[in-house]
Amino acid sequence: MGQTHVTDNKQAHRFEISVDGEPAGFADYMLADDLIVFTHTEVDDAFAGRGLGSQLVRAAMDDVRAEGTRQVLTTCSFVQAWLDHHPDYTSLRYGMSSGRAPVPDDTQQR
């Protein structure tokens, strides 16, 4: 498959993955206070089917975890699905720092 490498391109606000030095995909994000908001993830069609999107998101989540100052919010369906399938990263999700979903306030009548 080749040598993969993920970097955080802070100027472009995106994590980027390359294969043997060739750009293969990215995950765009925005920073807001103590949040990192993932907005879009894309892998070039030439690299499809190799699991690069998952490698990219895992590396990004590991970076967020290592930094330790932000929680993750996502509007990107790929990142959302990845997080849904990796419960060991639940603590990174915005509002989920306890590892459990926030309890909805059902006391208000509709």
Confirm whether 74 is domain-assigned: yes
pTM of the model as a whole: 0.84
Angle at 26 between CA 67 and CA 49, to 5 degrees: 120
What is the rounded average pLDDT of the residues 87-107? 66
Instruction: Pull the structure tokens for residue 96.
Output: 């989920």
Evaluate whether residue 109 is within a structural domain.
Answer: no
Residue 8 lies in a domain: yes
**What are the tens digits of pLDDT across the range 23-37?**
999 999 999 989 999
Query: Does a structural domain hold residue 81?
Result: yes
Residues 49-77 have pLDDT tens digits of 999 999 999 999 999 999 999 999 999 99
Question: Domain range holding 61?
Answer: 4-92
d(CA 57, CA 34): 19
